[in-house]
Amino acid sequence: MEAEEKFMTETESLQLITSMINKAKNNFSERGLLYLIWGWVILFCCIIDFSGIYFFKYEPIHFVWLLLYVILIFQIFYIRKQKKVRTTKTYTGEINAFVWITFTICLVLVIFICNIFKQYQLIDPLLLMLYGMPTFLSGIIIKFKPLVIGGICCWALAVVSPFINVEFQVLLLGCAVIAAWIIPGYLLKQRFKNEN
Amino acid sequence: MDFKELDPILHSQLRLAVMSLLISVKEAEFTFLKEKTNATAGNLSVQINKLKDAGYIDIIKQFNNNYPQTICKINDAGIAAFENYVKALKSYMSL
């Protein structure tokens, strides 16, 4: 940009404002990595968990879900690293982060309460309902339709889940992560490539 | 028609570009502003300090991984000044 003294007409000023606001808006930083990692790992856990119980009646297979703690630790390090290289902080990014924090807290509480009351059959339908919330809101916040559709898919699966045999419900979770995180994750990755 | 005077602090190409970028984000690093405005570091630094002296932006200097980092953030006075500037521009444009 040229030195400050250059005379600007009113039209040029408005054009400059518009162009700079667009430049800031197009600084698209969501590359979909976390959606893809969480999506694939949860899908893997769903398939292993279902196969272990349905085909082999092997109860300890439930421990496969402990893999999620490994992903959680990875996520903490990933976010810390991202913060170091990030050059801007946006209002949408901040709201989005709080949406996912709220989701995580609700998720932990739902699992905790269902376990206390031994209502295990409620866990999957409630998880489907919860998955829809941050996915839908993130889609609205970052204006990304596939996430909005993914969130709606989770809620549709939550409606279906009470009518499905409990041992098959975990497969609905798998379908939910494909619709809500894996497909939008790849589309986000593509959008990031195109815009940066 | 009543014409409002254009704020001389904002009616400058680089300062207006910086303010337009800062109004769109919560905070931005110096490197981000430099990249988006294509300004030289020296010129940008001078203009940012002028905005700070006018009370329109806050500048936070810190270290990140042992590297100095300058973070700029528009404040309430800056938002009000920017809004007034746009209103004034519109009053001229509606001629």
Q: What is the pLDDT of residues A104-129, one digit of tens each?
A: 999 999 999 999 999 989 999 999 99
Domains: count for chain A: 2
B79-92 tens-digit pLDDT: 999 999 999 988 88
Q: CA distances (Å), A69 to each of A41, A63, A133, in order?
A: 11, 11, 21
In a domain, A176, yes or no: yes
Q: Identify the CATH number of the domain defined by range B25-89.
A: 1.10.10.10
Give the separation between CA B72 and CA B36, rounded to whole angstroms: 14
Q: What is the reported pLDDT for A150?
A: 97
Q: What is the reported pLDDT for A30?
A: 74
**Domain boundaries, given as residue ranges, for chain B:** 25-89
pLDDT higher at A49 or B66: A49
State percent of chain A over pLDDT 90. 69
In chain A, which residues have their Cβ closer than 8 Å to the Cβ of B63?
A: none
A66 with A111, same domain: the answer is no
Positive or negative, the Cα torsion across B51, B52, B57, B61? Answer: positive
Question: By the 8 A CB rule, do A130 and A151 touch?
Answer: no
Q: What is the reported pLDDT for A29?
A: 66
Q: What is the reported pLDDT for A27?
A: 64
A183 with A160, same domain: the answer is yes
Give the separation between CA A111 and CA A106, rounded to whole angstroms: 9
Q: Locate the chain A residue with the closest alpha carbon to B37.
A: A1
Give the separation between CA A18 and CA B16, rounded to whole angstroms: 11
Residues 35-94 of B with CB under 8 A from A: 35-39, 43, 47, 64-65, 86, 89, 92-93
Q: Which 8-state DSSP code applies to residue A63?
A: G
Domain that holds residue A113: 93-196
- HSE of B15 in the Cβ direction (CA atoms, 13 Å)? 26
A148 with A73, same domain: the answer is no
Contact A1 B37 (CB under 8 A): yes
Q: What is the reported pLDDT for A193?
A: 85
Question: By the 8 A CB rule, do B51 and B19 touch?
Answer: yes
Question: By the 8 A CB rule, do A38 and A104 touch?
Answer: no
In a domain, A117, yes or no: yes
- Look up residue A140 and give its amino acid: I
Q: What is the reported pLDDT for A196?
A: 66
Domain boundary (A58, A82, A106) is at: A82
Is residue B56 scored above 60 in pLDDT? yes
pLDDT higher at B92 or B72: B72
Facing residue for A88 by CB, picked from B6, B29, B93: B29
Contact B17 A27 (CB under 8 A): no
Q: What is the reported pLDDT for A1?
A: 59
In a domain, A190, yes or no: yes
In chain A, which residues have their Cβ closer than 8 Å to the Cβ of B86?
A: 14, 17
A127 with A181, same domain: the answer is yes
In a domain, A4, yes or no: no
Q: What is the reported pLDDT for B3?
A: 63
Confidence class for position A100, pLDDT limits 50, 70, 90: very high
Residue with tokens 């005077």: B5
Q: Which two tokens stand for residue B14?
A: 């680089």
A58 with A114, same domain: the answer is no
- B3 near A CB under 8 A: no
Is residue A6 scored above 70 in pLDDT? no
Q: What is the reported pLDDT for A24?
A: 83
Q: Which of A8-12, A67-71, B72-76 is the least confident region? A: A8-12
Is residue B4 scored above 80 in pLDDT? no
Q: Which of A148-152, A155-159, B8-12 is the least confident region? A: B8-12
| Interval A139-168 mean pLDDT | 95
Crossing angle for the helix pair A123-141 and A166-177, to the nearest 10 degrees: 10
pLDDT higher at A118 or A194: A118
A163 with A140, same domain: the answer is yes
A99 with A193, same domain: the answer is yes
A108 with A185, same domain: the answer is yes
Question: By the 8 A CB rule, do A170 and A43 touch?
Answer: no
In a domain, A43, yes or no: no
Q: How many CB pairs under 8 A join A and B?
A: 88
In a domain, A38, yes or no: no
Give the separation between CA A19 and CA A110, rounded to whole angstroms: 46
A164 with A78, same domain: the answer is no
A195 with A98, same domain: the answer is yes
Q: Which of A77-81, A177-181, B27-31 is the least confident region? A: A77-81
